[in-house]
Each structure stands twice: as C-alpha cells, then as structure tokens.
Structure 1
Amino acid sequence: MIGAVCALIAVMAGAFGAHGLRGIVSERGLDVFQTAVTYQMYHAIALVALSALSLAGLNRRLLSVAAGFFLAGILLFSGSLYMLVLTDSRWIGPVTPLGGVCFMVAWTLLAVAGWRHARPSCGEEQR
C-alpha cells in the first residue's frame, strides 16, 4: 500500500513538474524536480516488489527494514529535492545525500535477503 501511494504521488508530482512548473522554475530546477520524481518512482516500485518477495519466502524482517530505508530515502532524497526546487531553500541540500545512503542501505538489505534465500541451509541440497 505504501509503495502504491508513493508511486501515485510520483505520478502526480511528475505531472505537476511537467505542466505546473514550466516557466516558473529554471530548466535546471525542472531537471532536479524530474530527478526527484524518477527516484521516487523507482523506489516506490521497489516497495511494491518487496511485498511480492516476502510472499516468495525471502526474510520478512530484512525486507521490512529495507522497506523502511526505501521510504526514508524517498522522503529524504526526493523530498529534499522537491523542497529545494519549490522553495529555493539551499539549506536542505545536505539532506539529499542522506536519502541516497538510505537507498543504498535498502538495496544492500534486499541483496542480503536474496542471498540468504538462495543459499542452501545446513542439510539442504545444493541447488
């Protein structure tokens, strides 16, 4: 549900950026806004995928923590870029890399969950 809502907001933000911000912000501002939308959509889809992966038997605890980091990344990375463009508040710029770190942590946790799932347990035959 959270992934779907984040994707919906990304679509709405993309439409707003494409139609509502033209002529109001610079081309650079539009590019930054589009970057925020793109990263939000990618990670919203990742949140939706985590639900499917939990049904496939991957470690739900790791996936839950990854989901938290994906959501934090969306809020910090995309949110700070939206705020930067819409308010021209330069102080928010240093927050953006923290969101990027959250994304990297989430992808790492997802990789670990996949690796643990693919690795045979003790007594289990090699695949």
Structure 2
Amino acid sequence: MEKYVLLIAALYGALGIIFGAFGAHALKKILSDDLLKSFETGVKYQMYHAIVLLVIGFQFSFTESLETAIAWCFIAGTFLFSFSIYGLCISSAKGKKLRFLGPITPLGGLLLVIGWILLGVSFL
C-alpha cells in the first residue's frame, strides 16, 4: 500500500503542476475571474493533499485499517473534489456546464474532511 500511496502522491503532484500552469496560461484567456479562482482552488487542494499523501506514504506502515482508510479518503476525496472542479470550470467556459459534477465536489470535500479527522484520531 505504501508504494501505491506514494505513486498517487507523485501523480497528483505532477498533475497539480501541469493543471496549475494550464490554468495560469491557457485557461486564463477563456475563463472568467471567478472560474479561474475556482480552478486554482482545485489545484491548491490537489497539491496540499499530494503532499499529505507523500508524508503518510512514508510514515504509515498500513498495517492498521485506520491508516488505509485515511489514505483512501485523501485519494478519493482529492480526485472527486479537484477533478470535479476542473470539469465544472472547463465545461462552463465551453458553454455546456456539466451540472452532474456539482454534487460531486462537496462529496470529495467531505471525504477530505473525514480523512483529516481520521488522521487526528490516529494520533490518539
């Protein structure tokens, strides 16, 4: 599990850099200021959680189910939160907002919150 978490951390980190550059350059021309800020929020949260996954990948032994649950909450939460924001922003700019992505963003956020709460519980 450690290598899997570290691989996902590296992937999220690399994609965060790519999406950040894409947003700052290519999307700056087609997104409104509000949509660009939303896109940047997705990138920030993705990078924050890539770093968290990197740390827990090195620190956890993943012998306890709590550690595995924390990792999965961060992996799934980051994917649902950030990537739904990217989809909403880009589809809005194209004039065909993918509304089904709207409810996915808070679900991803909820998984991130649960991951942080479980991380706190693991310290007890």
TM-score category by the smaller chain? Answer: 0.7 to 0.9
Aligned to 2:43: 37
Structure 1: give runs of 5+ residues left out of the alignment: 116-127
User: What letter is aligned with 2:20?
Assistant: G
Of residues 66, 71, 90, the one that matches 1:62 is: 66
Q: Look up the SS of the partner of 1:22 in the other structure.
A: helix
Larger radius of gyration: 1
For residue 91 of structure 1, report the CA deviation from its aligned partner. 2.9
Post-superposition Cα deviations, 1:2-60, rounded to whole Å, max 9, x if no partner, equal: 111111111110000001101211111110000000000001111111122215xx864
* TM-score when normalising by structure 2: 0.85
Show the counterpart of 1:84. 88
Equivalent position of 1:110 in the other structure = 119
After TM superposition, the runs of 4+ consecutive aligned structure 1 residues lying more than 6 A away are none
| Corresponding position of 1:120 | none
Does the CA-based 8 Å contact 1:70-1:103 persist in structure 2? yes
Could you tell me the percent identity over the aligned residues?
Answer: 41
Selected match of 1:23 from 16, 20, 29: 29
Task: State yes or no: 1:94 paired with 2:103.
Answer: yes
Instruction: Tell me, in whole angstroms, the C-alpha distance in 2 between the residues paired with 1:75 and 1:51.
Output: 17
Distance 2:118 2:59 in 1: 13
The alignment status of 1:14 with 2:23, answered yes or no, reads: no
In structure 2, list runs of 5 or more residues that go unmatched. 1-6, 93-97
Q: State the aligned residue count.
A: 113
Which amino acid counterpart does residue 70 of structure 1 have in structure 2?
F
Determine the structure 2 residue equivalent to 1:73: 77
Aligned residues: CA RMSD:
1.5
